């Protein structure tokens, strides 16, 4: 049987007017590096091997969180979660999302939703093992966003 895995590349179409805020957040706050830029897109590297392409276009500005069943949440990892959490929140560039889970959930410039976790953290719950947050409470919180 054929199998698939997630790769280390992602891309997203975002409003053109968010370019400066996206660069500031992903480079200055998260420590990413612009690998290539042109008038219509930026290619950024986060960490050693994750690449995200931001394609800038005339799309609606979704600065207010819009949640649908088809939303994708990305996970970022840090060796110092508390320091990174402070840096993210202190940047003033994100919207903190109130999710009843011990991790920081937030919406980045451009609309992407992320969860911050520790590099060596036991994340087996998110793999289907162990106890974790109350699912009903999580769904309820997301519906209020």
Q: Where are the domains of the chain?
A: 9-144
The reported pLDDT for the residue numbered 4 is 61
- Which residues of the chain form beta strands (DSSP E)? 9-15, 33-38, 41-46, 50-57, 73-78, 95-97, 104-107, 113-118
What does the pLDDT read at residue 7? Answer: 80
Longest dimension (CA), the chain: 47
Q: What element of type H or E holds 21?
A: helix 19-23
**What is the 8-class DSSP label of residue 27?**
I
Residue 28: the pLDDT is 97
Q: In the predicted model, is pLDDT for residue 69 greater than 50?
A: no
Most confident of 16-20, 87-91, 94-98, 126-130: 87-91
Could you tell me which residue, 42 or 3, shows the higher pLDDT? 42
Which pLDDT band, with edges at 50, 70 and 90, does 134 fall under?
low
CATH class of 9-144: alpha beta
pTM of the model: 0.78
pLDDT at res. 8: 87
Coil, strand or helix at 125: helix
The SS3 call for residue 22 is helix
Per the CB < 8 A criterion, the answer to whether 32 and 49 are in contact is no
Q: 12 pairs with which residues across the strands?
A: 54
């Amino acid at each position: 049987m054929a199998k698939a895995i997630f790769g280390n590349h992602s891309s997203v179409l975002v409003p053109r007017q968010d370019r400066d805020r996206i660069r500031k957040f992903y480079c200055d706050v998260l420590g990413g590096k612009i690998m290539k830029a042109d008038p219509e897109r930026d290619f950024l590297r986060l960490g050693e091997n994750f690449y995200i392409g931001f394609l800038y276009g005339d799309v609606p500005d979704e600065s207010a969180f819009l949640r649908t069943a088809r939303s994708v949440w990305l996970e970022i990892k840090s060796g110092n979660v508390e320091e990174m959490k402070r840096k993210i929140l202190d940047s003033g560039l994100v919207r903190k999302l109130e999710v009843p889970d011990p991790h920081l959930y937030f919406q980045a410039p451009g609309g992407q939703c992320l969860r911050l976790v520790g590099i060596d953290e036991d994340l087996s719950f998110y793999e289907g093992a162990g106890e974790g947050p109350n699912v009903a409470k999580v769904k309820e919180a997301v519906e209020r966003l």
